[in-house]
Structure 1
Amino acid sequence: MRFLRRSLMGVFLLSVTLVLLAWAGNMVREAVTARLNEEPRNFPQRERVLAVNVITLEPQTITPVLTVFGELRSQRTLDLRSATSGTVLEASDALVEGGAVTQGQLLLTIDPVEAQAALDRVRADLQDAQAELRDAERSLLLEQDELSAAQEQANLRAQAVTRARDLQERGVGTAATVETAELAASSAQAAVLTRRQALASAQARIDQATTRLARAEISVSEAERDLSDTEVFAAFDGVLADVSISPGGRVTANELIAQLVDPTRLEVAFRVSTSQYARLLDGDGTLITAPVRVALDVSGVNLVAEGQITREGASVGTGQTGRLLFARLDSSPGFRPGDFVTVSIDEPQLDRVALVSATAVSADGTVLVVGDEDRLQSVAVDLLRRQGDDVIITVRGLAGQTIVAERSPLLGDGIKVNPIRPGGSETEPAEPEMIALDADRRAKLIAFVNEGRMPDEVKARIIGQLEQEEVSSETVARLESRMGS
C-alpha cells in the first residue's frame, strides 16, 4: 500500500514537471516567433552640423608691410689718430667713452718739443737758402757789369784794328801794327766769352738757390704741420667711442686714439631676400625710395623712427644671399649705432585683395566658401603676402563671398556648417513646426516615454511637452522613429 502511494506520487510529480517544461518551451517559442515577426526599428542618422567662424571677403586696397631685421650705422664715423708720436701733455675732459664734443674742440695735446725743434732747424735752413739766393743775385749783377765792360773793351779793340788797317792802306802803318791790333781784339773777344760763361754760372747759381729756397719753404711747411698735428681737434659734432689714451701716456704715429661718431645721422642696413627685393623695384627696375619704420624694444618701451630707402649694396658678398639695402632715418632719438632693430618696409599697394587669417588658407592654397544651404566648397586662391598671423589673398571671383576663418580637419567639401560671423552669434535656428495630436497618438507617445530608459526629469519634460495642445513636429518624429512606427 505504501509502495503504491509513493509510486502514484512520483508519477504525479513527473507529470507536473513535464507540463511545466512544455509550457516554458511554448513561451520561449512564442517569444522568439514574436521577435522574429517584429518589424525592425529604424533609427535615422541625423546630419552633423558644425559651428564655424566666418568672414566676408570684400575687395580692398592694402599696403603690404615687409618686416626684416637690421643694424643701425652712423653715416659719419671718423677714426681719430695721432699724426706724430710723443707724450700726451693734456687731454680734454670730453675725451672719454661716450663723451660729447663739438666741431673744432681741442681733444688732445702731444708734447711739441721735438716738433718745435725740427721747425726751428728748417727755419734756419730757410734763412740760409734766402741768403744764398741774395748772394747769387748780387753775383749775377756783378757778372752782368763785367760782361758789359768786356764787351766795351772788345769794341774798342775792334775799332783799333780798323784804324790800323786804314793806316796800312795809306802806307803810313805797318803790318806788325795791324797784327798787334788784331791780337788785342781777339783777346778782348775771349774776355767777353769768359764773362758770358761767368754770367751763365751766376744765373745757374740763382736757379739752384731758388730751388734750395723752395725746398726749405716746403720743409718749414711740413714742420709747421707736424707741430700743428700735436693738437687733435674734433672734426664735427659727435660722441667719442673706443677711447684708448689718457694724459701721461705715449702715442706713436698713426695710433688710434678714439672714434668720433655722429649719432644724429643714422642709417639702418638690412638684408632682404631676392624675391622681396624684386617687390621693391619699379617698372624700370630701379629701387624705390619706400618708407620704412625702425623699432627697438627697450624694456617694453618701443623706440620708433621713420625714414626711407636710399641705396643698395654694390655686391651680394661672399657667402651671402639676397640684397643689402640702406635706409636713412629722419629723426632717431634714443638710437645708437650698433642697435639691432626691426625694420618695417611699406611695399607698393595691392588692389582688389583681402587680408584674412592665415588659418583660413590651407597648405594647398584653398579656402572653404560657405555656399547654398550653408555647405562648404573648396576654392583655390592666390596667396600674395604673409603679414604675421594674417595673409593677403586675391579676391578674384570671391567678392562678397563668405569663407571659413579658422579651418580644422573636420571641415571639407560638402560639410554643412552653422556660420558665426564676427561680432555676432550663431545663426538663429528656425522656429520648429508645431502640430496637433489626437488622443490615441498622444497616449501612445506618453506610454512609450514612460516605458523608456530615460531619467525621470527628462521623462517629465517630454511628457509635459506632449500634454500641450500643439507639440513640436521634430519631437514627435524623433519619438516615433524610436518606436518603430
Structure 2
Amino acid sequence: MSAHDSLNKYNKQIKSKLIQSVLISSIALALTACGKQEAAKKVTPPAAVSVYTIKTDEVGNYREFVARTQAHQEAEIKARVEGELLKRHFNEGTAIAQGQALLEIDPAEFQASLIQAQADLKSKIAAQNGAARDLKRGKDVAKQGFISQSDLDKLTTNAAQTSAAVKAAEAALAKAKLNLSYTKISAPFSGKIGKVNFNVGNIVGPQSNALATLTSIDPIYVNFQVEESDYITYLQKHKEIKSAQQVPMDLALRLPNNSQYGQMGKLDFADTKIDQGTGTVEMRAVFPNPEGIVLPGLFVTLIVESQDKKAMSLVPQAAVQENQQGKFVLVIDENNKVVTRHVKLGRRINAMWLVESGLKANESVIIEGLQKVKQGVEVNPVEKSVNAITGVINNISAK
C-alpha cells in the first residue's frame, strides 16, 4: 500500500469517529431534553395545612387584679370546758355536715355537777316552801297580836331569801346543764375540717389552742384592692350605684396553674374607707365553689370585665408566631396563597387572643403546618375548629 492510500484510510477513520461522537452527543442531548420535559410535567402539589376562620365574640373593657381567696366561713373549734378528750368522730380533711358530732370531752365531772345542782335546787325549793308557810302563819297570828312586828319582819326576810336562793339554784342547774352539753362538740356549719391539734387522752380546756379548724368554701371569697383614684373615678361615673352588689361587672378567675375557673362571680363588698398605707380600697368578690377546687389562701388573677361589650375578633394561640417585628399570623388569601400578617393583640381569653388590629372576621389563618409553608406559596387549606377554652384542634365534623 502506498503512502497516499494509507493517508486516505487514516482520514476516513478520523471522519467515522467524529460522526459517531456527534451522533452520541445528539442522542444524549435529546434524552436530556426529554427528561427535563418529563420533570416539568411532574408538578409538586400544594402542601396541606389546617386553617381556622376568624370569628368574633362580644368582649368588654377589662382589668386584671392580683387577688387572694378566703373561706366563706371559718371557725376554730375550741373546748369550752376543761377535761380529758375522750372521742373523735371525724377524719381529718373530710366534709362535715352542720350539727355533726366532732369531739367528746369526759362528761363525768359535769354529770356529777348536774346531779348536785339538781339536788341543791330541790333543797332550796323545800326551804322556800317552808319559809312561805311560816310567813303565812306569822301573818295570821300577827292579826291576833300574838307575834311582834320584828318577828314578822324576820319571817318576811327569810321567805325572800329562800326565793332568791331558789333562783340562784335554778341558774346553777342551767349552768351545769350547759357545761355538760359543752362536753359534746358539734359542727356549727357545714364545711371541711382540717388537722386535729390534740389527740384523744389530752387534757383540753378554754385556754387550749384550737382543737381543729372548720372551713366553708362554697361559696369562696376573693379579696383584691383597687387604687383610690380608679375607685373615686368609678363612683363619680356611676352615682346611681348604692352598693357593691349593684356594680354591672362580669368577674372571672384565672387559677395559679394558669387555667380558667369555670364559674363566674360577682362583687360582694367594698370597704367604706381608703387604706392610708397603700392608697387602695379593699374589695371582695364571691364565686360559687361546688366542687371545692378553689381553696382558701390561693393567689389568683381576678378578671373584671364591663358588661358594655362590642364584637371583636379572636385568634387561636396556635396561629400566632413572633419575630423581631412582633407577633404575626399566616393568612390564606383568595388564591390560597400564604400572606404574612402582623397583628396587634390584646388580652388572652382562655386559648384565644383578642385581636386589636391586623385581622378581620371570616379571614382564614394557618393553625397547623406552619413549618411547611412560607410567604407567597400556594397551599391546600383544610378547615378545622378550635376549642376556645382548651385550644384543642378538631375536624369540623367533630365539633
User: What is the TM-score with the length of structure 1 in the denominator?
Assistant: 0.49
Matched, 1:270 2:228: no
Does the 8 Å contact 2:312/2:354 carry over to 1?
no
Rounded Cα–Cα distance in structure 2 between residues aligned with 1:211 and 1:199: 19
Query: Among 135, 153, 161, which residue is 1:200 paired with?
Result: 153
Rounded Cα–Cα distance in structure 2 between residues aligned with 1:390 and 1:219: 71
Rounded Cα–Cα distance in structure 2 between residues aligned with 1:390 and 1:279: 26
Give the CA deviation at 1:351: 7.8
Q: Residues 231, 62 of structure 1: CA spacing in aligned structure 2 closer, same or farther, 3 A cutoff?
A: closer
SS at match of 1:264: strand
SS at match of 1:306: coil
SS at match of 1:65: strand
Q: Which amino acid aligns with 1:346?
A: E
Q: Which amino acid aligns with 2:250?
A: P
Higher Cα radius of gyration: 1
Give the CA deviation at 1:119: 2.2
Q: Which residue matches 1:320?
A: 278
Does the 8 Å contact 2:248/2:306 carry over to 1?
no
Query: Among 307, 314, 330, which residue is 2:265 paired with?
Result: 307
Superposed, 1:377-392 pairs within 5 Å as 387=347
Instruction: Answer 1 or 2: which has greater helix percent.
Output: 1
Matched, 1:249 2:249: no
Q: Residues 423, 275 of structure 1: CA spacing in aligned structure 2 closer, same or farther, 3 A cutoff?
A: farther
Rounded Cα–Cα distance in structure 2 between residues aligned with 1:134 and 1:218: 19
Matched, 1:219 2:214: no
**C-alpha deviations, 1:378-430, integer Å up to 9, x for none?**
xxxxxxxx7479797xxxxxxxxxx9x69xxxxxxxxxxxxxxx769999xxx
Matched, 1:70 2:67: yes
Query: Among 274, 283, 290, which residue is 2:239 paired with?
Result: 283
Give the CA deviation at 1:308: 0.7
Instruction: Answer 1 or 2: which has greater strand percent.
Output: 2
Rounded Cα–Cα distance in structure 2 between residues aligned with 1:267 and 1:293: 13
Does the 8 Å contact 2:87/2:104 carry over to 1?
yes
Q: Which amino acid aligns with 2:218?
A: T
Give the CA deviation at 1:70: 1.1
Does the 8 Å contact 1:312/1:325 carry over to 2?
yes
Q: Which residue matches 2:335?
A: none
Rounded Cα–Cα distance in structure 2 between residues aligned with 1:113 and 1:226: 11
Q: Residues 101, 285 of structure 1: CA spacing in aligned structure 2 closer, same or farther, 3 A cutoff?
A: closer
Does the 8 Å contact 2:228/2:274 carry over to 1?
no
Q: Residues 348, 289 of structure 1: CA spacing in aligned structure 2 closer, same or farther, 3 A cutoff?
A: closer
Gap runs ≥5 in structure 1: 1-59, 151-190, 356-385, 393-402, 407-421, 428-485
Q: Which residue matches 2:134?
A: 139
Does the 8 Å contact 2:256/2:299 carry over to 1?
no
Rounded Cα–Cα distance in structure 1 between residues aligned with 2:259 and 2:354: 25
Superposed, 1:114-125 pairs within 5 Å as 114-125=109-120
Does the 8 Å contact 1:308/1:329 carry over to 2?
yes
**C-alpha deviations, 1:340-365, integer Å up to 9, x for none?**
2111111253789999xxxxxxxxxx
Rounded Cα–Cα distance in structure 2 between residues aligned with 1:139 and 1:235: 50
**C-alpha deviations, 1:16-74, integer Å up to 9, x for none?**
xxxxxxxxxxxxxxxxxxxxxxxxxxxxxxxxxxxxxxxxxxxx985102111211112
Give the CA deviation at 1:85: 1.1
Q: Which amino acid aligns with 2:72?
A: Q
Does the 8 Å contact 1:280/1:348 carry over to 2?
no
**C-alpha deviations, 1:202-244, integer Å up to 9, x for none?**
2221111111110111011111111110110011211012421
Gap runs ≥5 in structure 2: 1-56, 315-345, 366-373, 377-399
Q: Which residue matches 1:414?
A: none
